[in-house]
Structure 1
Amino acid sequence: METETQAGAGAETGARSGAALAHVEPATDDAIGHLLLRCLSAGAEPGAVFEVIERSDGFVGVCDAAEYFAPFEDWPTRERSLISRARGAVLDIGCGAGRHALHLRERGLDVTAVDSSPGAVRVCRERGVPARPGTAGELPCPDGSYDTLLALGANLGLLGGRARAAELLAEFARVAAPGARLLATGRDPYASTGRVHTDYHEANRRAGRMAGQLRIRIRSGAVAGSWFDYLYCSLPELEELLAPSDWTPVEAFEDPGGGYGVVLALRR
Structure 2
Amino acid sequence: MIDLPGIAIKNFQDKTSRAKLYVHDTFGPKVEMPISLYFRTEKQLPKLEKKAIDLCKGKILDIGAGAGSHALILQSKSLDVTGLEISSAACEVMKDRGLKKVVCEDIFKYKDEKFDTLLLLMNGIGLCGDLDGFRKFLRKAETLLNENGILIFDSSDINYMYEDEELPQDHYYGEVTCRYEYQKEVTDWFNWLYLDFKTLEKITSEEGWKSELIYEDENDQYLVQLSKK
Query: What is the TM-score normalised by the length of structure 1?
Result: 0.79
Higher mean Cα deviation, 172-181 or 116-125?
116-125
Partner of 2:204: 242
| Distance in 1 separating the partners of 2:75 and 2:97 | 12
Give me the whole-angstrom Cα distance separating, in 2, the residues matched to 1:186 and 1:192.
14
Is the 8 Å Cα contact of residues 111 and 144 (structure 2) preserved in structure 1? no
How far did 1:57 drift?
A: 5.9
- Per-residue CA deviation, residues 41-99 of structure 1 (Å, 9 max, x unaligned), is 2399xxx5532001146541112110010111111111101110111000011000001
Q: Is 2:128 the counterpart of 1:155?
A: no
**One-letter amino acid of the counterpart of residue 134, structure 1:** E
1:100 partner SS: helix
- State the secondary structure of the residue aligned to 2:112: coil
| Corresponding position: 1:261 with 2:223 | yes
1:91-170 alignment, distance < 5 Å: 91-129=61-99, 130-142=101-113, 145-170=114-139
**Pair 1:190 & 2:159 matched:** yes
Unpaired segments of 5 or more residues in structure 2?
none
* Residue in structure 1 matched with residue 24 of structure 2 by the alignment: 54
Mark the runs of 5 or more structure 1 residues left unpaired by the alignment: 1-27
SS in 2 for 1:265: strand
Runs (4+) off by over 4 Å: none
Residue 266 of structure 1: how far off its partner (Å) = 2.3
Q: Name the residue aligned to 1:32.
A: 5
Structure 2 residue 38 is the aligned partner of structure 1 residue 68: yes
Identity between Structure 1 and Structure 2 (%): 24
CA RMSD in angstroms, aligned pairs only: 2.0
Aligned residues: 228
Give the match for residue 175 of structure 1: 144
When Rg is computed on C-alpha atoms for both structures, the one with the higher figure is 1
Whole-Å separation in 2 of the counterparts to 1:34 and 1:229: 20
Equivalent residue for 1:222? 184
1:246–1:174 distance in 2 versus 1, CA, 3 Å = farther
Counterpart in 2 of 1:86? 56
Q: Is the 8 A contact 2:19 2:183 kept in 1?
A: no
Normalising by the residue count of structure 2, what TM-score does the alignment of the two structures yield?
Answer: 0.91
Q: What is the rounded CA distance, in whole Å, between the counterparts of 1:115 and 1:245 in structure 2? A: 25
Partner residue, 1:23? none
Q: 1:50 to 1:248 in 2, by over 3 A?
A: farther
